[in-house]
């Protein structure tokens, strides 16, 4: 979700406050990327890094957790428009968004650090997952379930396991594959390999 | 790899120094689990936590990185003995080791934190991967390649992608699945789902 989208739920900001909001989000991500854990991350530190007053931050976010959830959400690529032509095409679109996202080095670094704190800040991570991960997961589930209905996928398919194979193979390449950008044909190769066992 | 195995390359220690070694490894893991990053982790802090002198540590490890690599390696379950009866049975054995490992909460927490530092300490992570991940990856590759040779798997199989699907689905359940221990039938379910697309 982009900053614009995340801001759209609030009263429309003037250009000046949009700029401040962007600076605050960037400062938060920079501090996390520099290795500052959630416990050390303070509104003071973020305000100082962003070059704004603390009140400017509190005007938008009532607490640190809300700000961190918003900042992490800006790292996710926007949900892609699905072509709707076939299960294969839609899954490739979904994985292509994951691939683009993983090409952002700072984003990956911040996400790794944030995830490493999941055990210590379960509520924060739960909110982030609900906000940034759950909509994509639901989109993938809908595509697969539609495929079962249309007969593109086998009727007895374990939908959860199908999602685990597809998303997991992407995750595996991000975590354990060769360093650098994921190859542009990876989404298609992952989908074809997974669908080989999911077709009727 | 167990502490005993990792120590076997060095002159055999007396029981007293084995006990000290275990305390040092545990202190290192505890400090990481408490959120101490690689940069803050000092031999002083580890010695103090383990209740040993710094020289006791330096007698075994010439530097902090070596100690951290050894400590992280003790978190991995030992490489399982493969039954060798079928590709399916061998893959289930390999995933069962991953499943047991993920049930160790402190281990998972330490591994998450360590992995979050991969971008900042690439050499350390590379050594850890080589020591603790590479042998398993090679074992899985050998099982799959054997399956292609025996005809249990299709001849044109993309071996790397097969590994990504199988390991990725386990990784996905560890990272994004429901909290708590992974279900005991998960290795078998992952292998069967993946093999559905890998059989001839």
Show the domains of chain B with their CATH numbers: 3-73 (1.10.357.10), 87-195 (1.10.357.10)
User: What pLDDT, in 10s, does the model give residues B75-107?
Assistant: 887 888 999 999 999 999 999 998 988 877 777
Q: Pick from A112, A161, A189: which is nearest to B116 by CB?
A: A112
Are B152 and B199 in contact by the 8 Å Cβ rule? The answer is yes
Count how many Cα atoms sit within 13 Å of the Cα of residue A194 in the half-sphere of its side chain.
Answer: 33
User: Which residue among B137, B172, B197 places its CB closest to the CB of A164?
Assistant: B172
Distance CA B46, CA B63 (A): 12
User: How many beta-carbon pairs below 8 A join chains A and B?
Assistant: 112
Are B196 and A198 within 8 A, CB to CB? yes
Given a contact cutoff of 8 angstroms between Cβ atoms, the answer to whether A193 and A169 are in contact is yes
How many Å apart are CA A39 and CA A62, to the nearest integer? 17
Show the low-confidence residues of chain B (pLDDT under 50): 1-10, 13
Contacts of B99 (CB under 8 A, 6+ apart): B170, B182, B184, B186, B187
pLDDT at A14: 52
**Cβ contacts of residue B199 below 8 Å, gap of 6+?**
B152, B153, B154
- Convert the pLDDT of each residue in A21-64 to its tens digit: 999 999 999 998 887 878 889 999 999 999 999 999 999 999 99
Nearest to A173 among B118, B164, B175 (CB): B164
- Residue A15: the pLDDT is 57
Please state the length of chain B.
200
Confidence at residue B67, expressed as pLDDT on a 0 to 100 scale: 95
Q: Using alpha carbons only, what angle is made at residue A95 by residues A151 and B87, rounded to the nearest 5 degrees?
A: 70
- Which pLDDT belongs to residue B15? 57
Q: Give the span between the Cα atoms of A13 and A11, in whole angstroms.
A: 6
- Within chain B, how many helices (H) and strands (E) appear? 11, 0
> CA angle, B138 as apex, B135 and B143 as ends, to 5°?
130
Cβ atoms of residues B95 and B190 within 8 Å: yes
- Given this model, what pLDDT does residue A16 score? 66
Query: Predicted ipTM?
Result: 0.77
Nearest-Cα distance to chain B for A55, in Å, is: 30
**Vertex B58: Cα angle to B52 and B59 (nearest 5):** 90
Residue ranges in chain A modelled with pLDDT below 70 = 1-16, 177-179
Contact between residue B161 and residue A190 where contact means Cβ atoms under 8 Å apart: yes
Tally of CB atoms within 10 A around A193: 22
Q: Which residues of B touch A (CB under 8 A)?
A: 35, 37, 39, 105, 108-109, 112-113, 115-116, 118-120, 129, 133, 137, 158, 161-165, 167-173, 175-177, 189-190, 193-198
CA gap A130, B110 in Å, rounded = 24
CB–CB contact B164 A177 (8 Å): yes
Chain B residues near residue A175 by CB distance under 8 angstroms = 115, 171
**Closest-CA residue in chain B for A163?**
B169
Nearest by CB to B165, from A118, A177, A193: name it: A193
Nearest CB partner across the interface for A116, out of B116, B120, B173: B116
The alpha carbon of residue A9 is apart from the nearest alpha carbon of chain B, in Å, by 27
* Cβ pair A21, A56 in contact under 8 A: no
The residue in chain B having the minimum alpha-carbon distance to the alpha carbon of residue A199 is B197
CA of A42, closest CA in chain B: separation in Å? 17
């Amino acid at each position: 979700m982009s900053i614009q989208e995340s801001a759209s739920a609030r009263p429309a900001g003037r250009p000046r406050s949009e700029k401040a909001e962007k600076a605050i989000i960037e400062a938060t991500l920079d501090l996390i990327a520099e290795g500052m854990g959630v416990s050390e991350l303070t509104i003071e530190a973020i305000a100082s890094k962003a070059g704004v007053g603390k009140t400017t931050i509190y005007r938008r976010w009532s607490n640190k957790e809300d700000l961190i959830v918003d900042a992490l959400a800006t790292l996710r690529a926007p949900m892609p428009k699905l072509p709707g032509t076939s299960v294969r095409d839609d899954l490739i679109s979904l994985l292509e968004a994951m691939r683009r996202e993983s090409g952002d080095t700072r984003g990956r670094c911040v996400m790794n650090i944030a995830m490493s704190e999941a055990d210590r800040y379960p509520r924060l991570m739960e909110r982030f997952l609900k906000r940034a991960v759950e909509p994509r997961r639901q989109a993938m589930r809908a595509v697969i379930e539609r495929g079962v209905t249309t007969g593109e996928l086998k009727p007895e398919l374990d939908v959860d396991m199908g999602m685990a194979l597809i998303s997991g193979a992407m995750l595996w390449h991000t975590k354990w594959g060769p360093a650098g950008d994921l190859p542009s044909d990876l989404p298609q190769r992952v989908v074809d390999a997974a669908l080989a066992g999911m077709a009727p």
